[in-house]
Chains A and B, each alone.
Chain A
């Protein structure tokens, strides 16, 4: 089935550790995005990529890093520099920037 897959669904991290969230899509979409959602809040843009090997910072990129080596994959690394990483992370993709976006089911990250 075509879609966008995030893994894992739940992730626990110790303070000071880096952790990488996976996002894979088989929709042949050019654009991919990472958003962060805190309880009762909207989505805030972390990074987005319009094409392979290119990405732009969103509103809250500090403490995060991404790569786009393949069209299908856009992993997000939450580094130890991110002071408050506990949140729900959502990955999305679209044909182009600004087109209808398809979302994964999210990864809930908890720092313990």
Chain B
């Protein structure tokens, strides 16, 4: 079962624009994490937000979490061509491994 579902599946923007992708999940969580994957490579951890946090920032990344709606969003500000990648949310329930969604493919053109 895939806990998280990202939306949209694909997103194309111009350099300098902001990119927003959303993640919805089904059951209660301990934390929610966002990862990035360049084509054909492993995943890289971006940010972790705990269930008692509502917003978190890391550089050009801003993550929000709404546990009442079981949703999270990832905002990348001032996108660059190098941000082109797939982005996944992953959730952690009680004592279980990370469960990933299907991802959003972001394409940033210069």
- What is A's interface to B at a CB cutoff of 8 Å? 6, 31, 33, 35, 41-45, 48, 56, 58-59, 88, 90, 92, 94, 97-98, 100-106, 108
Verify A106–B40 contact, CB threshold 8 A: yes
Verify A106–B95 contact, CB threshold 8 A: no
| Distance, CA A45 to CA B43, complexed state (A) | 14
Q: How many residues of B contact A (CB 8 A)?
A: 25
Contact with A along B70-98 (1 / 0, CB 8 A): 00000000000000000010101001111
State the total of A-B contacts with C-beta under 8 angstroms.
62
The secondary-structure label for the interface of chain A is strand
Name 26 A/B residue pairs within 8 A (Cβ), A-sorted. A31-B97, A33-B98, A41-B102, A42-B88, A42-B101, A42-B102, A42-B103, A43-B43, A43-B100, A44-B2, A44-B100, A45-B98, A45-B99, A48-B97, A56-B97, A90-B43, A92-B42, A94-B98, A97-B97, A98-B31, A98-B96, A100-B45, A100-B48, A102-B45, A105-B42, A106-B41
Verify B43–A103 contact, CB threshold 8 A: yes
* Minimum CB distance partner of B101 in chain A: A42
- What is B's interface to A at a CB cutoff of 8 Å? 1-2, 30-31, 33, 35, 40-45, 48, 88, 90, 92, 95-103
List residues of chain A with CB within 8 A of the CB of B44.
103
